[in-house]
Amino acid sequence: MNLKDIIEEVNNLLDYNPDLQPYKDAVSRTVSRHYQEISTECPWLFMQNVTPFPVYATVTGSATKTVAITTPTRFATFTGITPPQAWTGALFTAPDGNPYRVTRVVGATIYFTPQYLGATVAGSASWEISFDRYALPADCSEPLGFMDRENERGRLIFIDRRREEELFLDANDGGDVFALIEDLHISDRPPEFAPTATLSAGGALPVGVEFEYCYTFTVEGRESPPSIPVTAAKTTAGNQTVVVANLESTQVAGLDTGVIKNIYRRNKTANGRWLFVIQRLEAILNFIDDGSATVLPFETNVLAPQEPRQYVRGYYTANEDRKLELRYLRKPRRLQADSDVPLWPEPYHVLLVYRTLQDICMQSGMNGQSTMYERRANDVMKRMQGKWLARSDKNIVRQGFTYGGIGFFERYGNPRKIG
């Protein structure tokens, strides 16, 4: 069932289907809210993913790997080494001895924060890139396990902050990473103001469509929540361009910061998804959407959930690059477009119907029907937990002793699942 099917099922059971967009939007938000809550409530097998999780050794400067910084600035340019994207979010210890956080990597240049405090340097070997923390994937709701398969060390330990504080695992200790420690959960502010969207002449956007726009920031590899969305007038023949303006500048005191803007567009007429269109640099405050930008409807281009980004750090601090493996619980993107489908086995999509009806009936004062749908939802939830919870999260007990036959033999009971 896609979102349209789920909403139609809700309206059918309510025997109520007003052709009002605010009502449709309210039902869609309720369905999406329950979908996100249930998806991250338990470590469902169908919501898990596995991805490489590399850890890196500290990188230091040398006579052949130097850096140049011209003040005042928030960026540094390297010679003899091309900074990889993995440096985004790492700590840059500059020639002045101060640590700076890398916000963006572009070619041979890194942007960092705060502003450089030292004097101008050229060809300096006194620099260092250290990895004091690692960002978990953007769609990670909860890490479930770290593995070192490459070196056959198996499952690594995952430690929370309280335990690390008791053990005092010093970040200055170097060696092979054998434990991952829970670190900060960082969130970024959204753009302060909504953009403007004005219909203009020319272009190749489809005719008769209302497009909606919003934008986000990318900071240290993290994406902020979106701005308030804005809707452009419906396109007409000859007027098939939308000028998106009033984007916030991410420069500080006229200096580039490495904080860039991501423009998203949605076909509001067809109730489509929020899809990534283009990036804008710090000082660029508008975007002319004439339909020439390639918008790909892949999952990676859909506006991501707005949650704090979780970090971990390794212990020991890695003294050489290692390739680990992370298994984690995914957080789903919200159901927005009519064609969006929950990432669940289809027999359990009806759970979203029952949870939505439970809320609507309660809100409308129909307490008896609300209780009925709550019971139906609980039954479906129990079946889904019985089949699709991670194996280690099922509680297994033995049944009681059984007696039977001639000789009164005893047999210890078979395993019985209780959760």
Structure confidence by residue, pLDDT tens digits, 143-178: 999 999 998 899 999 999 999 999 899 888 889 999
Higher pLDDT, 59 or 393: 59
pLDDT over threshold 70, residue 337: yes
Helix/strand/coil (H/E/C) assignment for every residue in 278-289: EEECCCCCCEEE
Spatial separation of the C-alpha atoms in residues 147 and 167, rounded to whole Å? 22
Q: What single DSSP character describes residue 96? A: T
277 confidence band (pLDDT: 50, 70, 90):
very high
pLDDT attached to residue 136? 96
pLDDT over threshold 70, residue 414: no
pLDDT attached to residue 391? 65
pLDDT attached to residue 31? 96
Spatial separation of the C-alpha atoms in residues 54 and 322, rounded to whole Å? 6
pLDDT attached to residue 416? 52
Q: Which parts of 110-209 fold into alpha helices (H)?
A: 161-167
Q: What is the pTM of this model?
A: 0.85
Mean pLDDT of 289-303: 84
Question: Which helix (H) or strand (E) element contains residue 197?
Answer: strand 196-200
- Reduced to 3 states, what is the DSSP secondary structure of residue 397? strand
CB burial class (10 A; 0-12, 13-18, 19+) of residue 25? exposed
394 confidence band (pLDDT: 50, 70, 90):
low
pLDDT attached to residue 20? 84
* CA dihedral over 325, 331, 337, 342, signed as positive or negative: positive
Percent of the chain with pLDDT over 90: 78
pLDDT attached to residue 293? 87
- What is the tens place of the pLDDT at every residue in 181-190? 999 999 999 9
pLDDT attached to residue 304? 84
pLDDT attached to residue 396? 52
Mean pLDDT of 236-260: 95
pLDDT over threshold 60, residue 281: yes
Mean pLDDT of 382-410: 63
Residue found under tokens 């053990």? 167
pLDDT attached to residue 405? 52
Phi, psi of 152 (to 5 degrees): 55, 40
Other beta carbons less than 10 A from residue 146's beta carbon: 22
- Reduced to 3 states, what is the DSSP secondary structure of residue 207? coil
pLDDT attached to residue 177? 92
pLDDT attached to residue 389? 87
Per-residue burial over 328-367, b if 16 or more Cβ lie within 10 Å, else e, is: bbbbbbbbbbbebebebeeebbebbbbbbbbbbbeeeeee
Q: What is the mean pLDDT of the chain?
A: 90
* 231-245, 257-271, 405-419, range with the lowest pLDDT: 405-419
Higher pLDDT, 141 or 401: 141
User: Measuring CA to CA, which residue among 398, 378, 388 is closest to residue 329?
Assistant: 388
pLDDT attached to residue 406? 52
137 confidence band (pLDDT: 50, 70, 90):
very high
Spatial separation of the C-alpha atoms in residues 180 and 78, rounded to whole Å? 31
Spatial separation of the C-alpha atoms in residues 103 and 136, rounded to whole Å? 16
Mean pLDDT of 303-308: 85
pLDDT over threshold 90, residue 217: yes
pLDDT attached to residue 232? 95
Tell me the CA distances in angstroms from 70 to 102, 112, 275, one per residue in order.
Answer: 17, 13, 38
- Determine the residue type at 104: R
Spatial separation of the C-alpha atoms in residues 111 and 69, rounded to whole Å? 11
Per-residue burial over 194-230, b if 16 or more Cβ lie within 10 Å, else e, is: ebebebeeebebeeeebbbbbbbbbbbbbbbbbbebb
User: Measuring CA to CA, which residue among 202, 200, 276 is closest to residue 244?
Assistant: 200
What residues does 252 pair with on adjacent strands? 255
In the Cβ-directed half-sphere of 328, how many Cα atoms lie within 13 Å?
19
Which pair of structure tokens corresponds to residue 252?
Answer: 């500080």
pLDDT attached to residue 189? 94
CA angle 388–391–392, rounded 5-degree value:
135
pLDDT attached to residue 307? 84
